[in-house]
Amino acid sequence: MGKLGISIYPERSTFGKDKAYLDLAHKYGFKRVFTSLLQITDDKEKVLAEFKKVVDYANSLGMEVMVDINPSLFEQLEISYDDLSFFHEMGAYGVRLDIGFTGAEEARMTRNPYNIKIEINMSGGTKYVDNIMSYSPNTANLLGSHNFYPHRYSGLGYDHFVTCSEQFRQYNLNTMAFVNSSAATFGPWPTQDGLCSLEDHRELEIATQVKHLMLTGLIDDILIGNAYASEEELKAMAEAFNSPYPTLKVVVEEEITENERICLFDNLHSYRGDRSEYMLRSTMTRVYYKDKEFPAHTTRDIVRGDVLIDNENYGQYKGETQIALKEMKNDGRVNVVGQISEDELFLLDFLKPWSSFKLTEVK
């Protein structure tokens, strides 16, 4: 089962605020915590004391803290990749290598006596993970995570994201990606335009980002990159993540009838497997509601994303629910009852025949 997570940056906030945020995330079932040691300039003892306080509190809630590091930090803190006791004493669940070593070191690190997890960067697109695998690591302690990108337009393109994620999937390694909170105001660095892995996610609602990552089937864990997300966002994210089926947002037409609302919003829809290029068909509503009335209204020509219900002029198809995938002429037998919300239109590409989904009304 995948996990949800948040990010905290103790050196840029206060313990009180971090504690309140951890409590809130814990309330909604969040398990993972990401934090970064890359900005550390103070001495080792001071760093450890500040971070340990937050890590201990997260651990007391049963959360797992992953600490972002790189090879130069090992030198700065005078620690060796052969000896991870520093992170064990800190109470870390694992360390994330922002920049890796040569492969042999990572494999050796996965065999540490504390079973500290080693999370490696998934976004490079090189043979990095294949190289580590050739040194026979303990894969139970090897995880992957995508980067996040504070600079607008610098995030991952979707095709590259897929290529990188599939490299990790082939070894059954746990995968993680970051999503962006629009309520959050800071990250590890002074400047940030949000903190997501996929560039296309930067302006989307957090639940939509989560739905997309889940529909790709490539990501196990999803973390919010920036701090602090609002309670509303944490709740929406948990709902999207834990829902057994994806839910698409629909903006309804003014003329929609009560019977049509029931068709759309009171049913689990199933995408018929004998698929058409023009529409996604959910046929059971015509069976369930064959005795209900579906008079004709709003029979304009159809564009992609329109949510449709066949009206009484369509014979045995009356009451069938559809979502338009292409433009179609309307001869008056099809009611346009709503549209898939513009920001979720792209999710239609990720629904698979024979899969189930739900629709929800948005204002």
- Looking at domain 248-361, its CATH class is mainly beta
Output the CA angle 79-188-20, nearest 5 degrees: 100
Report the residue count for the chain.
363
Write out the E strands in the chain.
4-7, 32-36, 64-69, 94-97, 117-121, 142-145, 176-179, 221-224, 247-252, 269-270, 279-282, 306-310, 321-324, 334-340, 356-361
Region 124-138 average pLDDT: 96
pLDDT at 54: 94
Q: Is the pTM of this model over 0.85?
A: yes
Whose tokens are 């610098």? That residue is 154
Hey, what are 314's tokens?
A: 């369509």
* CA 247 to chain CA centroid, nearest Å: 14
pLDDT band at 46 (very low <50, low <70, confident <90, very high): confident
Q: What is the CA radius of gyration of the chain?
A: 24
Q: What is the pLDDT of residues 294-308, one digit of tens each?
A: 999 999 999 999 999
Indicate the CATH number for domain 4-243.
Answer: 3.20.20.70
Judge whether residue 98 has pLDDT over 90. Answer: no
pLDDT at 142: 98
Domain ranges of the chain: 4-243, 248-361
Q: In this predicted model, which residue has the larger pLDDT, 74 or 288?
A: 288
Judge whether residue 248 has pLDDT over 80. Answer: yes
- Cα separation, 24 vs 245, in Å, equals 25
Q: Calculate the average pLDDT of the chain.
A: 95
Q: What is the pLDDT of residues 176-230, one digit of tens each?
A: 999 999 999 999 988 899 999 999 999 999 999 999 999 999 999 999 999 999 9
